[in-house]
């Protein structure tokens, strides 16, 4: 069955390439090898910002985030009146959830364009243009730091990013994150896809959660961990990856969201697309 699915994905990619629908979304640059990891990602996402917002922040994607990511990521945490940093925030998709629960949110992003979008969207929230690798924010200043789908964009500097997050957290504060995880069957498909789709940068790779836990066993207590993501993750939250027309997405999303709810109790690490983790600073 796994081999049949792999062949189907290969066939799908080749059909996209032949049809001309597989287009480079971001302009190529001759000096791309010389820019830093985060600067490359900044330029990449600035180039596709409008498409990204349309696909990842529409009503269906918001429902997906709340049902399958946010509720699990912040389970048991009282957010009212807490200081929360949304790192690599973009325009603040997770800030919507946090503000709705009374948190005081700061958004951090390396892109000036995204910080401006964040501050326009969330009046009263502070935006900071800085790197998650070296933010220059005060140590021990946040009750919670959240990253949704950002760590896998900073390879090979994931450990450095988590070390900076640890520095920013108060003792007892929470590091909450959602990332595609390594060594699953969906990750095998993802690796094949990433190499062929210009929507992704060369340094993007799934997170090895087990290894990261070994690296930070002395710094964090690992409170919660769940493995999630099947059909709705692929075709609702990640509709841009499949170049799904938004009108078609609106039509199929309700059914796929229901299917994912039914399948979620049966999800395993080997078959899921992403991990949701909640760590607490010692």
Task: Give the residue extent of every domain in the chain.
Answer: 2-12+40-281
pLDDT at 127: 97
Confirm if 269 and 108 have CB atoms less than 8 A apart: no
Element (H, E) at 247: helix 246-263
Backbone angles phi, psi at 139, to 5 degrees: -65, 155
Confirm if 207 and 151 have CB atoms less than 8 A apart: yes
Tens digit of each residue's pLDDT (9 = 90 or more) over 177-193: 999 999 999 999 888 87
Cβ atoms within 10 Å, residue 28: 7
> What length is written for the chain?
282
**Helices assigned H by DSSP within 20-105:** 37-47, 49-56, 59-64, 71-73, 93-99
pLDDT, averaged per 10 consecutive residues of the chain (282 residues), comes to 44 43 36 47 59 84 97 98 97 96 97 92 96 96 98 94 98 98 91 72 85 98 98 96 94 98 96 98 98
Helix, strand or coil for residue 140? coil
Structure tokens, 217: 């066993």
pLDDT at 136: 96
pLDDT at 30: 32
Short-list 79, 141, 139, 138, CA closest to 104: 79
User: Domain spanning 2-12+40-281: which superfamily?
Assistant: Vaccinia Virus protein VP39 (3.40.50.150)
pLDDT at 202: 67
Q: Which residue has the tokens 């900076």?
A: 164
Q: What is the pTM assigned to this prediction? A: 0.83
Tens digit of each residue's pLDDT (9 = 90 or more) over 263-278: 999 999 999 999 999 9
Average predicted confidence (pLDDT) for the chain: 86
């Amino acid at each position: 069955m796994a081999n049949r699915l792999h062949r189907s994905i290969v066939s799908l990619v080749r059909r996209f390439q032949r049809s001309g629908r597989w287009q480079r979304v971001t302009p190529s640059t001759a000096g791309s090898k010389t820019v830093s990891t985060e600067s490359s990602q900044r330029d990449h996402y600035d180039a596709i910002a409008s498409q990204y917002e349309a696909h990842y922040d529409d009503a269906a994607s918001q429902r997906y985030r709340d049902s399958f990511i946010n509720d699990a990521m912040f389970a048991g945490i009282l957010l009212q009146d807490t200081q929360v940093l949304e790192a690599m925030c973009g325009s603040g998709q997770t800030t919507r959830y946090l503000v709705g629960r009374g948190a005081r949110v700061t958004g951090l992003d390396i892109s000036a364009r995204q910080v401006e979008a964040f501050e326009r969207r969330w009046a009263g929230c502070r935006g900071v243009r800085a790197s998650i690798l070296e933010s220059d924010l005060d140590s021990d200043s946040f009750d919670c730091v959240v990253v949704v789908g950002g760590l896998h964009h900073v390879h090979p500097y994931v450990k450095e990013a988590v070390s900076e997050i640890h520095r920013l957290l108060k003792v007892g504060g929470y590091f909450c994150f959602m990332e595609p995880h390594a060594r699953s069957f969906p990750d095998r498909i993802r690796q094949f896809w990433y190499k062929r789709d210009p929507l992704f940068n060369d340094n993007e790779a799934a997170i090895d959660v087990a290894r990261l836990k070994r690296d930070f066993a002395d710094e964090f207590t690992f409170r919660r961990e769940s493995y999630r993501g099947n059909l709705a993750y692929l075709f609702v939250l990640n509709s841009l990856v499949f170049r799904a027309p938004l009108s078609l997405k609106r039509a199929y999303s309700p059914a796929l969201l229901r299917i994912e709810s039914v399948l979620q109790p049966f999800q395993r690490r080997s078959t899921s697309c992403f991990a949701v983790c909640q760590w607490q600073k010692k």
